[in-house]
């Protein structure tokens, strides 16, 4: 009873038939695999197969609290695929989905540190959480991502200027404190992204 109250799923005693032991053990293993898969699906974006907005919110909260304790800067990148709606409308949704998958893979491949975290924020927007990273480091990474997306040379004849898919980025860096919140960091990065769009797209701006 105590074990069940602590979360046990089954109970087997020593004098049971070994065949029963094996069958019940396999059943528990299948249950564990199913719950693990459901947990993963709840955290992963189905299209790009990188973490989703819900997982981003969770990770950002954790890293914010860690940054308060360490007193190290925490940076956030907000990235947006330029002129994505005309791309999606012109080439079709299947091409649009493939474009987003390539962008997601490139963002992840550009980040070198295991602590850095990328997620799909929604639509054609992505975010990167960069612990222990100052503004200069965050700007450098954002520009590397921008160049690597440009280097994919995905044709985009419906873009106003560049004829390939490009990316705009907003960067925000905070020294976390109890007087601030991660929501403010997101708003700052979003504001910087807006300025990047106003500056002509395919560039990086800092808050």
Q: How far apart are CA 9 and CA 63, in angstroms?
A: 33
Q: How far apart are CA 114 and CA 188, in angstroms?
A: 24
Looking at 124, 125, 150, 157, which residue is catalytic?
124
Please say if 124 is a catalytic residue: yes
Asked whether the beta carbons of 118 and 127 are under 8 A apart, the reply is yes
Asked whether the beta carbons of 206 and 172 are under 8 A apart, the reply is yes
Secondary structure, 3-state, 48-90: CCCECHHHHHHHHHHHHHHHHHHCCEEEEEEEEECCHHHHHHH
Q: How far apart are CA 204 and CA 171, in angstroms?
A: 7
Q: Which sequence positions are flagged as catalytic?
A: 124
């Amino acid at each position: 009873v105590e074990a069940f109250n602590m979360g046990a799923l089954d109970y087997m005693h020593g004098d049971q038939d070994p065949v029963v032991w094996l069958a019940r053990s396999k059943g528990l293993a299948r249950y564990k695999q199913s719950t693990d898969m459901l947990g993963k699906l709840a955290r992963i974006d189905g299209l790009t197969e990188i973490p989703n907005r819900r997982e981003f919110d969770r990770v950002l909260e954790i890293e914010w609290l860690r940054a308060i304790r360490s007193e190290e800067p925490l940076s956030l990148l907000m990235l947006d695929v330029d002129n994505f709606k005309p791309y999606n409308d012109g080439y079709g949704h299947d091409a649009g989905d493939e474009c987003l998958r390539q962008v997601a893979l490139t963002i992840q491949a550009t980040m070198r540190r295991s602590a850095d975290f990328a997620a799909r924020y929604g639509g054609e927007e992505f975010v990167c959480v960069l612990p222990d990273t100052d503004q200069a480091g965050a700007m450098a990474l954002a520009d590397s991502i921008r160049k690597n997306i440009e280097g994919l040379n995905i044709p985009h004849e419906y873009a106003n200027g560049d004829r390939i898919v490009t990316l705009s980025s907003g960067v925000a860096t905070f020294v976390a404190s109890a007087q601030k919140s991660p929501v403010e960091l997101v708003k700052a990065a979003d504001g910087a992204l807006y300025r990047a769009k106003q500056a002509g797209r395919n560039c990086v701006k800092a808050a």
